[in-house]
Amino acid sequence: MLPGVGVFGTGSTARVLVPLLKAEGFEVHALWGRSEEEACCLAKELGIPFHTSQSDDVLLHQDVDLVCIYIPPSMTRQIAVKALGIGKNVVCEKAATAVDSFKMVTAARYYPQLLSVMGNTLRFLPAFVTMRQKLVEGYVGELQVCDVRVYGPSLLDQSYGWTCEELMGGGGLHTVGSAIIDLLSYLTGARAHRVHGLLRTFVQQNGLIRGIRRVTSDDFCFFQMLMGGTGSGSVCCTVTLNFNMPGSFVHEVMVVGSTGRLVARGTELYGQRNGSKGEELLLDDSGWVGPEVKEMPLPHLRGLSSMVKALRQSFQAHEERRSWARGPVAMAPTFEDGLYVQTVVEAVKRSSCSGEWECVEIMSQEPDPNHNLCEALQRNKN
């Protein structure tokens, strides 16, 4: 039986998610927005019976068994941890810092019977599901290189907000890079141990963000990750993110191995084995019918839709509406994956400051908050 859903957030993802949930048979009972007005407006638009700006009203709502959290990264940890504490299943977006991610991991470990997945959606995209399968089957031979490019228009909101602020979780690396970092660990079955990166904010002010306000979040980022193995045995991943390209959207993930290569362009998958004359189309995803959303690139939209389907399958398997089966969502990123991704993001940022390769060291205990404060102050200086 499908659980009742409560949604946090009134942004573009929440706006897309609700219809997808409904299409799969979920009932969305409650919506939270930062202001009463935003919540009211979107609830009316999407036909959600209850709305509020008090998080507890959703978390304690008796019909809500599954909480979907798509809000600014800096607020995610608080809601996610509280939701688990109250006994609700959680799907959420990334947090703002590794410390926050670590707290979420702690909570998820404490409530293993509750569903806790990162709403990172690229893993669910059929092109990447097939790509992973082909990699496992040995289509490319020994994996050597992954090369990812995402180009698009600015990620900044219309008005000044968290998307402009690096420390609030804004920027291409945090917003889009996170999804790529997660995807690459899913595809390769390995984790980055060393990273190198360079971040830039080319557009620091625009027509809407001016005066004393400046954008600090990156609009250009490239980073390299050495994954699995060490030395020459490791896989080299290069990722280029450029969000100074209005009017374009490029989303290309290529993996190259000793005997062939695979490349996902948008939602389609192509492959070529060494010795063959040309690329073969391995997955044509163009037949997909679903909403077209201007703010959300098709791979993310399509992935979100597949994730919602997986959630439906997971919950449908059980009679009790809070129970779920692990199978259909086994490929979803866990909160541990979220911590890993956040750790890589922070290592790339460190590398951009230091100019050096930085090690990816996953936090194993919560840092002393005072020490953390000092670090935050230091980072502010840069």
CB of 211 to a second copy, least distance (A): 19
User: What is the dihedral angle through the alpha carbons of 75, 76, 81, 82, rounded to the nearest 10 degrees?
Assistant: 60
**Alpha carbon distance 114, 110 (integer Å):** 9
Instruction: Give the whole-angstrom CA distance, residue 205 versus residue 207.
Output: 7
Q: How many CB atoms lie within 10 A of CB 290?
A: 14
Q: Are 117 and 31 in contact (CB under 8 A)?
A: no
Strand order in the sheet with 27-32: 50-52, 27-32, 4-8, 66-69, 89-92, 116-118
Nearest to 222 by CA among 331, 361, 349: 349
Cα–Cα dist 371/87, whole Å: 32
Binding positions for a second copy, rule: CB under 8 A: 144-145, 147, 149, 196, 198, 200-203, 220, 222, 224, 232, 236, 238, 240, 242, 244-248, 256, 258, 261, 272, 274-278, 355-357
Q: What is the DSSP letter of 334?
A: B
- For a second copy, the closer of residues 380 and 382 by Cβ is 382
Please report, to the nearest 10 degrees, the dihedral formed by the alpha carbons of residues 174, 69, 339, 357 taken in order. Answer: 0
**279, 280, 252: which is closest to 266 by C-alpha?**
252
By C-beta, is 53 or 238 nearer to a second copy? Answer: 238
Inter-residue contact 329 to 323 (CB < 8 Å): no
In the complex, the smallest distance separating the C-beta of residue 160 from a second copy, rounded to whole angstroms, is 20
By beta-carbon proximity to a second copy, the closer residue of 54 and 258 is 258
Which CB atom, from 103 or from 261, has the smaller least distance to a second copy?
261
Amino acid sitting at position 243: F
The CB-of-342 to a second copy minimum distance in angstroms stands at 23
Nearer to a second copy (CB atom), residue 78 or residue 238 = 238
For the bound state, the minimum distance from the C-beta of residue 96 to a second copy, rounded and expressed in Å, comes to 24
Minimum CB separation of residue 257 from a second copy in Å reads 8
Nearest residue (CB) to a second copy, 71 versus 199: 199
The least CB distance from residue 77 to a second copy, in Å, is 31
Structure tokens at 380: 């502010």
**C-beta separation of 153 from 213 below 8 A:** no
The helix/strand/coil state of 353 is helix
Residue 202: CB minimum distance to a second copy, A? 5
CB closer to a second copy, 54 vs 248: 248
How far is it, in rounded angstroms, from Cα 227 to Cα 180?
Answer: 13
Question: Shortest Cβ distance from residue 376 to a second copy (Å)?
Answer: 22
Q: Whose Cβ is closer to a second copy: residue 221's or residue 339's?
A: 221
**CB 192 → a second copy: shortest distance, Å?**
14
Question: Between 40 and 245, whose beta carbon lies closer to a second copy?
Answer: 245
Q: Please, what is the end-to-end C-alpha distance for the chain in angstroms?
A: 51
Place of tokens 């963000």: 209
Report residue 211: phi and psi, to 5°.
Answer: 70, -130
Query: Which residues on adjacent β-strands are paired with residue 28?
Result: 5
Q: Which helix (H) or strand (E) holds 342?
A: helix 335-354
Report the residue number, 106 or 154, with the smaller CB distance to a second copy: 154
Supply the minimum distance, in Å, between the C-beta of residue 17 and a second copy.
29
